[in-house]
Structure 1
Amino acid sequence: MKRLRSKYTKGEEVKFISHLDLLRVIQRALRRADIKVAFSQGFNPHPRISFGPALMVGATTEGDYMDVDVEEDISPHEFKERMNEVLPSGIKIVEVFEVDVRDSLSSRIKGADYLVEVFLKKEVEGLEEAVKRFMAKDTIEIEKETKKGKKLVDLKSYLEEFYLIDMNGERAKFYVKMKLGEGSPNPFHLLKAFNEYIGDAFDLEYYKIHRKNMFLE
């Protein structure tokens, strides 16, 4: 058995499929590509496929990762070629490399960076300076939904970089870099918190979030 780690993209065509649907797409592609996937042991065996932290529905990515354990001697290049032949438009594997079967993907991923674009409801003066003041805060508490209900989370402890890239009369574009982990907030939580800080200037019905890359240890 070998473990193949793949970097893949998820584009506009498939940005509204859920993480569970993405898993089904990958499983179907593996069957169509006739790749022998390893299965877990036990009463209810399942394919040994694992993903990095889920991307929120509606977002796109050019740098997410997944691991697939295979029971055949297939090279990373062949795996990439066979999968890309059968994957739907909008999902593409861009890089594959072999890792030790004991190497856990979840323990390797430390963070990610994003491009975030949001439309404005009104003109905002001094937005760049407002971002700097926001980042200078000691804590940024947000309310986050969890499986056990709502929970207060310090967004600042996850936020590594946040700055304005560009702004015109209709929209603002930001760069965001955040730590990733179990239950970590996402860039939309940041948008909501910053929007409240500047007095409800964003139209949160119209935004784009694009994950540029995940950072591996």
Structure 2
Amino acid sequence: MIGHRALLVVAGILTAGSAQAQQGVFMRDTLSSIGLIEPEKPAITYRERAPLVMPPKLDGKSLPPPRQPEASAQWPKDPEVVQREREREEARKPIVRGAQGRMNDNNMTLSIDEMRGGRRASAQGRTEPGRPEGENDDRNSFWSNPFGLRSAEVAEPSQVEPDRDVLTDPPTGYRKPPRKVAKTNGDPVNNPYREREESDPGAYVRARSAN
């Protein structure tokens, strides 16, 4: 009897230990899956790396000589490399300020020789002694007085109808310039004061009484 009891006690202890171990493994896997604890990782086995393969002779005679870095003539040229070489050559060229250089660079500046060549022989300075400032100003060569333009007579447009060259031009009869209409001395058509008086009954009564 005592032997059987001892066996039962030992079996119960082993069973409880295995159940606790399984429960611990389950809890550890659950907590590691949600990121609360680090998962159990296998141990790293460190081994020595294999040695490098060395040539049989280290005197340099067994190795082939280095080849020259020459590109094959059959290999096509890279367009980006060609563009960089062309830009490098253009950067080395001196800047020409002549007419051709201005056309290539889209530069509209004039050189000193060109400005001297286009200068008139009778040209004078900005202001001569004894003349007020502005009388000999270069601005007078192109500046016009606005009052003079206002008082200048405007030429009458031609009454001849131009020809119709393309289909987009207006048809015949619509290409004539408008005729000049004489200005009347009466009230304008859209006169708000006149419209208010016409709609005012008091104004009508006053006009009848005045007559």
TM-score bin (small chain): under 0.3
**TM-score w.r.t. structure 2 length?**
0.15
Q: Which has the higher strand share?
A: 1
Larger Rg: 2
Q: Which has the higher helix share?
A: 2
Higher relative contact order (CA 8 A, sep 6+): 1
